[in-house]
Structure 1
């Protein structure tokens, strides 16, 4: 499989956080979440820009429009991205 993408690394960390059920808002945890959140969004933007499959891209954009970021909390956002990844590894195919 080779090197993991930044998105994959972020997802691994996210899943670790979920497994530990660490939702405590210590300073470092909050910073970590912001960092992961930013990475996921950047990678999503990159992927959408590079996506050759217009239908797939439009579907994702439509789903994102129905779930605007400003009213999605971190856990929901991550769950959503994870679900998308599991449905055909959208972000791993450039």
Structure 2
């Protein structure tokens, strides 16, 4: 399980940085050149990075879903979060 310090550092990462590190971890694990302890530590960090990426994507999806489009398909306005939360 990732430590609180590691989780806190990951939570400050951008989506792109977290995804890039996750891809590096996957490549490293797939190469088979990591010892067992290193592989377990990498897997734990990768799991935390994946969770962070999932959270970032979900947040982005929610923001996009609040954007209202006009008849021409252009962004007209965003729905205030308080109204959106009441509809949920």
TM-score band, normalised by shorter chain: 0.3 to 0.5
TM-score scaled by length of structure 1: 0.41
Higher helix proportion? 1
Point out the structure with max Rg over C-alpha: 2
